[in-house]
Amino acid sequence: MPRLLLAGAGHAHMAVMAAIPHLVSQGHQVTAIGPGERHYYSGMGPGMLGGTYQPEEISFPVREMVESRGGSFIVGKVGAVDPQRHSVTLETGQEVPYDVLSCNLGSHVPEQTVSTDSGTLQDIFPVKPIERLWSARQRIQELTDSRQVRIAVCGGGPAAVEIAGNAWSAGTQRGRYGCVVQLFAGTKLLKNKPENVRRRARNALEKRGIDILEGSYVRSVRHGSIQLANGRQHDQDIIFLALGVRPSPVFRASGLEVSDDGGLLVNRFLQSCSHPDIFGGGDCITFTPQPLAKVGVYAVRQNPVLLRNLHAQLEGRALEPFDPGGDYLLIFNLGNKQGILYKGGVVLGGWLAFRIKDYIDRKFIKEFLPSSSSHSH
């Protein structure tokens, strides 16, 4: 019985998990590995920080989704892949064999800026894993009960902008003390985005009193303070790290063919360039035909192709290429049900942008939730 192993139960594997009954009926065995029983949808993470969503509204009960459909689910973290022995080793040492492997191991925020002599990540929150943002919200609200809280967001990209707006929402929702938010944007806020998008983001944040600091990178972070490259130090109570994401370090450590940033190199079939029985999708891969931004839309678009190609590989059939598609809609959630939408040359701000994002995100969750656990909103 050919064994399909899904390393990671993320966005790019949703269609495969939905198709488990069909794969099993064709005589295949399906196992998924995930770090927890639920998978959090990154697109709605900032909204959870800001209080728009509860954790269960933005997450998939992946264990239930896999097991109720006839697959096996293992809670654990992937430590290494052994392509010679066709097995994956978990951090616990457990080995899981495969005939075809698909990786959706996501990305992480590199923590090299965090000074380890502080010995603790207390009150320092990388934007991934997404579920940490719920702890951050609770911590902010706990502190605002007794004093004004100083919140720092390190990073100048879309994630940093969304976190700043939503951290401000979390800090002003209860307690009479509120918060002060500073966004340390490096050289320039949203430097790769069009001028009108940058202007709208700046206006929306500054209207709330969020302080945007540009012109110097964050050099190091320790519990309670941030040191900039220009030598200035800023004392803070809560620090968010949104300094860009890197693919999972597993591939390089396992000796697979990777790109400079450690992403699994895949061809146009989403198949490893060095090992044809390994596939991948989402943030953890590098698509050799063309560079793809690390945005959830590509993981979502990869779903049907990944499903067809994994099935074809199990049965020795021909693979089909993945077409990344054209321009995609980008919407930032700025907190307080405000957003900025842009696609091509069109830019739209305010509550309508948020409503459109909310609709698209909820629809995505609903599409893949097992009917037994879909929520009525």
DSSP annotation string for 106-141: -EE---TTB-GGG---TTEEES-STTHHHHHHHHHH
Would you state the pLDDT for residue 119? 54
Instruction: Give the model's pLDDT for residue 117.
Output: 55
Sign of CA dihedral 272, 365, 327, 197: negative
Class of domain 3-35+76-109+245-325: alpha beta
Segments of the chain scoring below 70 in pLDDT? 112-113, 115-120, 372-377
In the numeric block, which tokens belong to residue 283?
Answer: 């943030």
Phi, psi of 307 (to 5 degrees): -60, -50
> Where does CATH 3.50.50.60 sit in the chain?
3-35+76-109+245-325, 116-243
Which residues lie below 8 Å from residue 217, measured CB to CB, with a gap of 6+?
Answer: 186, 187, 228, 229
> Could you read off the pLDDT of 223-264 as tens digits, one per residue?
899 999 999 999 999 999 998 888 889 999 999 999 999 999
Class of the domain covering 116-243: alpha beta
Q: What is the pLDDT of residue 374?
A: 45
Q: Which of 267, 324, 321, 270 is nearest to 293 (CA)?
A: 324
Please tell me the predicted confidence (pLDDT) of residue 199: 96
